[in-house]
């Protein structure tokens, strides 16, 4: 979205993109992110029980697929939590 002056903000111009194969993992992380608990210190990690429920809800049954989803979701969650912790320190 461009500002009123017709210039797109740098964050919009430099936003990261992901490939087609990454989309299912990104979608899973975004859906699961809303299930996290919040503490006085900020967000907690996505519970494993929620990830398991996601696998069941979307019929992700293959153990190798589950392992890959788990690895990627936890990696994304780690980056999110690191970013959130830095925001609290500001």
Cα separation, 25 vs 8, whole angstroms: 28
In a domain, 16, yes or no: no
In a domain, 7, yes or no: no
In a domain, 66, yes or no: yes
| Position 14 pLDDT exceeds 90 | no
Q: What is the structure's pLDDT at 40? A: 84
Residue 7 region by backbone torsions, left for phi larger than 0, else alpha for psi between -120 and 50, else beta: beta
| Position 3 pLDDT exceeds 70 | no
Structure confidence at residue 87 as a pLDDT band (50, 70, 90) = confident
Cite the beta strand spans of 15-56 per DSSP E: 38-39, 42-43
| 62: containing domain | 22-34+44-89
Q: What is the structure's pLDDT at 90? A: 64
In a domain, 67, yes or no: yes
Grouping H, G, I as helix, E, B as strand and the rest as coil, residue 38 is strand
User: Number of folded domains in the chain?
Assistant: 1
In a domain, 85, yes or no: yes
Per-residue pLDDT tens digits for 28-68: 999 999 999 998 888 999 999 999 999 999 999 999 999 99
The encoded tokens of residue 60 equal 């992700």
Residue 43, beta-bridge partner list: 38
């Amino acid at each position: 979205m461009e500002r009123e002056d017709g210039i797109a903000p740098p964050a919009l111009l430099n936003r990261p993109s992901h490939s087609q194969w990454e989309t299912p993992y990104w979608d899973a992380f975004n859906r699961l992110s809303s299930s996290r608990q919040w503490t006085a210190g900020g967000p907690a990690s996505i519970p494993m029980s929620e990830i398991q429920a996601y696998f069941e809800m979307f019929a992700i049954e293959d153990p190798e697929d589950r392992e890959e989803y788990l690895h990627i979701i936890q990696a994304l969650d780690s980056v999110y939590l690191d970013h959130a912790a830095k925001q609290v320190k500001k």
